[in-house]
Amino acid sequence: MSVDGVLGVPPRTTATRRVNFWRWVRSDLRAVLSLGYLFILIFVSVFAWKIAPYSPIEQNVTELLMEPTWSHWLGTDDLGRDVLSRLIWGAPNSLYAAFLAVTVAIVLGVPLGLLIGFLGGWFDELMSRFIDALLSFPPIVLAIAVTGALGIGLTNAMLSVGFVFAPVLARIVRAQTLVVKSALYVDAARGFGAGTGHIIWRHILPNAIQPVIVQVTLMLAIALLAEASLSFLSLGVQPPQASWGGMLARAYNYIELAPAQMYAPGFAILLTALAFNALGESILVALDPTMKRR
Amino acid sequence: MSRLPFLIGSRLWQLLPIIVFATFVVFSLLQLVPGDPALVLAGDYASRERIEEIRQLYGFDKPFVVQYGAWLWHVVQGDLGKSLLSSAPVYDLILQRMPNTLLIATYALLIASLIGIPLGVLAATKVGSRIDSFVTSVASLGVALPSFWLAILLVVTFSMDLHWLPATGARPFSVEPGRAIAHATLPAIALAVGVIAELARQVRSALIEVLGSQYVRTLRAKGLSPISVLWKHGLRNVSVTMLTILGLQVNRLFSGAVVIEAVFAIPGAGQLVAYSAINKDYPVVQGVVLVFVVMVILINLIVDVLSALLDPRAAES
Amino acid sequence: MTDLSGAVDILVVDDLDVTFKGRRRNQKVRAVEGVGFTVREGETFGVIGESGSGKSTLGRCIVCLVPPSGGRVLHFGKDPFALSASELRRHRRGFQIIFQDPNAALDPRMTILESVREPLDVAGIGTAQERRVKALEMLDRVALAPELALRYPHEISGGQKQRANIARALVLEPSLIVCDEVVAALDVSIQADMLNLFAKLQREFSLTYVFISHDLRVVAHVSDRVAVMYCGKLMELAPAEDLMAAPLHPYSQALLSAEPEPQPAHLRNKKRIILKGEIPSPLNPPSGCRFHTRCPIAVAECATREPEWREVLPGRWAACHFAGAPVPAVSDATVEVLRP
């Protein structure tokens, strides 16, 4: 018996999908632009080795600190490296950093929040104070300290940032878990014999995940800025690898000789952070029907 | 006010576990370092005796909790250990550097409040207008702007091109306040922009909520002018929220200061922690982080107590 | 009414206490205290009480959602709380509950079909396709249009949601269903429909119901026997017809007299007893008889000595010193008597 046929659900056609797509583009242009920009950035990151006109680390002492030319669109840096190529190679590093930090935050924070919310009681009291304590640290300062302890480098720096973000997610997930845990449909599920695992997987997680998605998208922007800051402080990406923050730090050293080199990496960071933020806000509006556009 | 000591006492009591956990986190930082902590603390060129001495001093041969207790006992007495690089007491190093950080942070908070709060109020009173969308856009931009990049752009414009303000260094505020302010101005502006954006956003949404509430609509319906509704009811009810929002910015300011100090070569606590982290000077890192977190917790205590005094409802919770 | 002679005792509630921790330390909320009755297979057992009387807690305890703090609950003579966690999970499929709020009882992120299928998924019965077919069949049995199966709870009406809840409770083919105020949240216009559905399902699935409500008409209409609960305790237990015709306990009398009569005021011949005051807090229940603070016939003794739960007439139990005895004069101080 074909169940769908019985149910009389109209199959979704390409035509209706296309209409929905254009409606979405018109209703949320900002999200579309952000998403488009991020897709391009991911594309550039994946194919950096093909797109970049020069090697990002190969030095050329005959072409130091050149103004933009036809062969070097954004000029060259103090070691004669092509700035455009370094900018392109900075993209995968920045995206890797942002996604690594956020993944660490999710892996640590979400289960912790679930556990705290689910167990409740004195465990909740204790862990909530612990989370409060972690959130009292200025995030970059704590990330610097943890990076220093683990050893400097991009991966360690982003593990640290993820560690600093984790309590934020844990707190959100805990609050959601507490709400869902006492929902009547969870009682109903226990009533027909569902175990704790089933309740967490089928009820608590799907209902708690919404604010997490929003927060995670916004966190990508913060992680990106943190990566740039840490690389600027030479705690993140180590030379000769390219990173936008590191490029700014370098450019700042010879700012009087080539002030124009300040702009490209800065704009790259700004645009990417803006895109993540815009996407996060759009998801917030899209997921919450009560958040109508003002 | 007679309930003030009680209020402070009860809040301190609530904060106590947070402070204990925070110190525990700071102490645990050393455990993250791969390898024998005694070797790490002794540095690369230490003699065997020196390593043994450090092991004894910190009690690394004893259980973790005992080590923590011993460390905390020293910290409470103001002994944060010695720098591995300069052998100077960490406490003295922080005391030297912290005023520079606090100057730019306070300065930035002042600038941010003077610009961010009015912007948020303006946007909230004219929701949907051009001013509102302008403020909202500027705020989104400000949140995404890397502060150190802005700092560099400020240096290029105001120091190198216009020669209005100095680009690097700091002066002690107590000795030459005028020049100290001049040196702190660009860093404070760079630091303030992100906070302005955050304040404008949050004040806007908090005020929109109050102005949209049932009782404000009732007041409007009774014929009160929008201005007096805003001043008498809107802002008064939002003031506690604003205080909380301001308190939360302290974290952001300290975080930003670390990076900004690097741009302006300000010998502050932020620069100290970054430099020490790179050079594996762990006692200094621990000391600075500890001082930062204690300051944040104390500022939150002050905010809490002030909110309780302003709003009787907050006092009960 | 159903002939129940020789039927099995499907549920025994024996001297049951349920106590919760209060907000403050050492504070105890006695939601259910010393409640005992027996439900026979195929019967509809009504429980009536005001909000706060502990009737919902009783219902939750019957299906093992709340553990008893004293006394026992027996399913077919066995104590479900003595089972191991995994045995209990399997056992409780036979004892289901339907809640008052049909909306809150459905996960907003699951379609109706997913919700109805969920008990089968948990039980691991059959293949995914078989479970789907079974769930759809169950939706049909509760007269829920199949095109609603793929909708989400917020897309359908309250009555439809309650039908989905019934289907979910039925899908495991339980022996007993606790119906906790199942029609209270619904429009009066569809309450009768829903009660007819319950009656039809009882015949089709040979179900036993524990039917909890604050609405005397509803309970009396569907039940074989009715227990009256007040402030955590049973006040009276009687066959539904007897209770409606001649209640023994003054609380039952008050409940009955408060029922609106489908007649104009000047044709009504009953005195109307309106209880004064609120139901006492279970944090601090009254001494003696729990009802004495609002009872129209209370005497000094009622405040000190707790009435015994006794069989006043064959099959009719009550907890009142004066049940079955001549009633002392009603004092106007505690009750307002409306005469026609």
* Residues C182-197: tens digit of each pLDDT: 888 888 888 888 899 9
Return the pLDDT at A11: 43
B140: nearest CB among A129, A139, A274 = A274
Inter-chain CB proximity A188 and C97 less than 8 Å: yes
Inter-chain CB proximity B288 and A248 less than 8 Å: no
Chain A partners of B25 at a C-beta cutoff of 8 Å?
Answer: 133-134, 137
Q: H helices of B145-213, where?
A: 147-154, 177-211
Inter-chain CB proximity A136 and B262 less than 8 Å: no
Return the pLDDT at C271: 63
Parts of chain A with a pLDDT under 50:
1-14, 289-294
- Which has more confidence, C288 or A50? C288
Inter-chain CB proximity C123 and A193 less than 8 Å: yes
Count other C-beta atoms under 10 Å from residue B162's C-beta. 9
Return the pLDDT at C115: 92
CATH code for residues C9-337: 3.40.50.300
Chain B partners of A293 at a C-beta cutoff of 8 Å?
Answer: none
C327 touches chain A (CB under 8 A): no
Q: Tell me the mean pLDDT in the region C115-142.
A: 90
C178 contacts C62 by C-beta, under 8 angstroms: yes
pLDDT tens sequence across C196-255: 999 999 999 999 999 999 888 888 888 999 999 988 888 999 998 888 888 888 888 888
Inter-chain CB proximity A202 and C108 less than 8 Å: no
A213 touches chain C (CB under 8 A): no
The packing angle between helices A244-253 and B147-154, to 10°, is 20
Return the pLDDT at A252: 81
pLDDT tens sequence across C156-172: 888 899 999 999 999 99
CA distance C94 to chain A (A): 8
Q: To the nearest whole number, what is the mean pLDDT of chain C?
A: 84
Inter-chain CB proximity A225 and B296 less than 8 Å: no
CA distance A139 to chain B (A): 6
Return the pLDDT at A84: 79
How far lies C244's CA from each of B249, C241, C296, in Å?
67, 5, 19
User: Burial level of B150, CB count in 10 A (0-12/13-18/19+)?
Assistant: buried
Inter-chain CB proximity A149 and B282 less than 8 Å: yes
Residues in chain C: 340
Q: Helix/strand/coil (H, E, C) string of A76-123?
A: ECCCCCEHHHHHHHHHHHHHHHHHHHHHHHHHHHHHHHHHHHHHCHHH
Return the pLDDT at C260: 67
Inter-chain CB proximity A192 and C63 less than 8 Å: no
ipTM of the complex: 0.87
- Which has more confidence, C328 or A225? A225
A207: nearest CB among C65, C97, C109 = C109
Return the pLDDT at C164: 93
B37 contacts B54 by C-beta, under 8 angstroms: no
Q: Tell me the mean pLDDT in the region C89-97.
A: 91
Chain A partners of B293 at a C-beta cutoff of 8 Å?
Answer: 133, 136-138
Q: Is the predicted pLDDT of residue C34 greater than 50, yes or no?
A: yes
Instruction: Give the chain B residue whose CA is nearest to the CA of A219.
Output: B144
Identify the band that residue B88 occupies on the pLDDT scale cut at 50, 70 and 90: confident
How many domains, chain A? Answer: 1
Mutate to test the interface with C, among A125, A179, A185, A201 (most CBs of C within 10 A): A185
Q: Where are the domains of chain B?
A: 4-76, 90-311
Chains B and A touch (3+ CB pairs under 8 A): yes
Q: Tell me the mean pLDDT in the region B148-160.
A: 83
CA dihedral B204, B206, B212, B213 (to 10 degrees): -170
Inter-chain CB proximity B148 and A144 less than 8 Å: no
Chain A partners of B32 at a C-beta cutoff of 8 Å?
Answer: 146, 149-150
Q: Of all helices (H) and strands (E), which one includes residue C178?
A: strand C176-180
Identify the band that residue B183 occupies on the pLDDT scale cut at 50, 70 and 90: confident
Return the pLDDT at B222: 76
Return the pLDDT at C58: 92
Instruction: Please state, for a pLDDT cut of 70, what percent of chain B lies above it.
Output: 96
Q: What is the rounded distance in angstroms from the CA atom of residue C9 to the CA atom of residue A121?
A: 39
A1: nearest CB among C110, C133, C165 = C133
Structure tokens at B71: 């460390």
C123 touches chain A (CB under 8 A): yes
Instruction: Give the chain B residue whose CA is nearest to the CA of A132.
Output: B18
Supply the CATH number for residue A238's domain.
1.10.3720.10
Q: H helices of B269-310, where?
A: 269-278, 282-310
Inter-chain CB proximity A9 and C93 less than 8 Å: no
Structure tokens at C87: 């045995």
- Residue C296: is the preceding peptide bond cis (ω within 30°)? no
Contacting chains of B (3 CB pairs or more, <8 Å) are A
Return the pLDDT at B68: 85
- DSSP states of C292-320 as a string? TTT-TT--HHHHHSPPP-EEEETTEEE--
How far lies B275's CA from each of B26, B126, B282, in Å?
18, 47, 11
Q: What is the rounded distance in angstroms from the CA atom of residue B267 to the CA atom of residue B170?
A: 7
- DSSP states of A214-242 as a string? HHHHHHHHHHHHHHHHHHHTTSSSPTTS-
User: Burial level of A98, CB count in 10 A (0-12/13-18/19+)?
Assistant: buried
CA distance A183 to chain B (A): 25
Chains B and C touch (3+ CB pairs under 8 A): no
Return the pLDDT at A253: 78
Chain A partners of B255 at a C-beta cutoff of 8 Å?
Answer: 138-141
Contacting chains of C (3 CB pairs or more, <8 Å) are A
Chain A partners of B144 at a C-beta cutoff of 8 Å?
Answer: 221, 225, 270, 273-274, 277
pLDDT tens sequence across B17-65: 899 999 999 988 888 887 777 777 776 677 778 788 777 777 777 778 8
Q: Is the predicted pLDDT of residue C339 greater than 60, yes or no?
A: no
Inter-chain CB proximity A185 and C119 less than 8 Å: no
Inter-chain CB proximity A256 and B17 less than 8 Å: no
Chain B partners of A139 at a C-beta cutoff of 8 Å?
Answer: 251, 255
CB contacts under 8 A, A 193-212 vs C, are 193-195, 198, 202-203, 206-207
Q: Tell me the mean pLDDT in the region B212-236.
A: 73
Q: Of all helices (H) and strands (E), which one includes residue A258?
A: none
Inter-chain CB proximity B277 and A225 less than 8 Å: no
Return the pLDDT at B165: 75
pLDDT tens sequence across B97-129: 898 899 999 999 999 999 998 998 888 888 888
Global pTM? 0.81
Q: Tell me the mean pLDDT in the region C305-320.
A: 86
CATH code for residues B90-311: 1.10.3720.10
Backbone Cα Rg of chain A: 24
Q: What is the rounded distance in angstroms from the CA atom of residue A2 to the CA atom of residue B101?
A: 71
A6: nearest CB among C101, C118, C146 = C146
Return the pLDDT at A24: 67
Q: Where are the domains of chain C?
A: 9-337
CA distance C207 to chain A (A): 16
